[in-house]
Structure 1
Amino acid sequence: MKRSLILLGTALALSACTTASVEPIPGSITYNGQPRTKLTKSPVGSTFEHRFYGDGGEYVETYQIQPDRSLKLIWRRFLPDIIDDN
């Protein structure tokens, strides 16, 4: 019984992680809406990375091309700059 509750809790936590949307921030490709140009040669469902700097580090975002050729921000990672003051 205890094991099944742990598995259920883990499954719920993982499903919450995959369904949460990532909001654009300044520097994101879709920050001010969709870009004017469309990626017409890339297959629907394909992904690509976008990297930019801000807030003392590097952001790495992953976008997915939707059936209407719009971009969906699906993942973001922040890599802080490590500065040694010694």
Structure 2
Amino acid sequence: MTCPDRRAKGVAALICIGALCIAGCTASAGGGNYPDPIPGSITYGGQPRTKLTKSPVGSWFHHRFTDQFGRTVQETYVIQPDRSLLLTNRVILEDFFDD
């Protein structure tokens, strides 16, 4: 009689793991821990008017600019299925010549 109990526990464990995976995907798809656009970002003030129609969905690119404080900023964007851009990362690049 222990076999059906083990099987039921295994199925319950798989259902829990599957639910956690789905919840993780849902949580990160809409508003994950991505940086907010700042002045100079491509998506600051909304999505750009032109769509990247020739670039494959899921491809990424960097955008480098100088922010309002004079620092060099590099942002990474990913092209979404609807051709919008998702800002996924921002790095402030250090200038080694400044003291």
Match of 1:27 among 37, 40, 52: 40
Structure with bigger helix share is: 2
The one-letter code matched in structure 1 to 2:42 is I
- The answer on whether the counterparts of 1:63 and 1:72 sit within 8 Å (CA) in structure 2 is yes
**What is the identity, as a one-letter code, of the residue corresponding to 1:49?**
H
Q: Which amino acid aligns with 2:53?
A: T
**Size of the alignment, in residue pairs?**
68
TM-score, normalised by the number of residues in structure 2: 0.63
Deviation at 1:40, TM superposition (A): 0.2
Taking only the aligned residue pairs, the percentage that are identical comes to: 63
Amino acid at match of 2:73: Y
The answer to whether the Cα contact below 8 Å between 1:24 and 1:31 also exists between their aligned partners in 2 is yes
Structure number having the greater strand percentage: 1
Query: Once superposed, what is the RMSD of the aligned Cα atoms?
Result: 1.8
Counterpart amino acid of residue 73 in structure 1 = L
Is 1:51 aligned to residue 64 of structure 2? yes
Classify the secondary structure of the residue corresponding to 1:23. coil
2:87 pairs, out of 53, 73, 86, with 73
Q: How does the TM-score come out when normalised to structure 1?
A: 0.71
- Taking the aligned partners of 2:76 and 2:98, their CA distance within structure 1 comes to 26
